[in-house]
Amino acid sequence: MDTPRDYEVVCELFDALPHPPDLPPELADVIDLLDRSPQLTAHMQPGSQRYSTGSDAIHQVPTVELALAYREELIHRHTARDD
């Protein structure tokens, strides 16, 4: 988390999504909620990421690879939503 707003978004996610008290919400549920709620990520700068390196260099955001189980669940959710 880079900003206080990032922390607020995480708190909103934990409040909005069902999860056991000792575990975070499911990744697929988080992604689905963020897809449906663009206001939660509107404060983020697309295409840049801050690093704690002491320099002000802007780096390309790394690609995130999801495990097949998550990808298939997300594809199913998005396909079902588009029907």
Span 31-70, pLDDT tens digits: 888 888 888 888 776 555 555 555 555 555 556 666 666 7
The per-residue pLDDT for 63 is 65
Higher pLDDT, 40 or 83: 40
Q: What is the mean pLDDT of the chain?
A: 76
Helix crossing, 68-82 with 27-36: angle to 10°?
A: 40
Those residues whose C-beta lies under 8 Å from the C-beta of residue 7, and which sit 6 or more positions away, are: 1
N residues, the chain: 83
The total number of structural domains in the chain stands at: 1
The pLDDT of 21-35, averaged and rounded, is: 88
Query: Which pLDDT belongs to residue 31?
Result: 86
pTM of the model: 0.55
Which range of residues forms the domain containing residue 59? Answer: 4-82
b/e for 13-36, b at 16 or more Cβ within 10 A?
A: beeeeeeeeeeebeebbbbbeeee
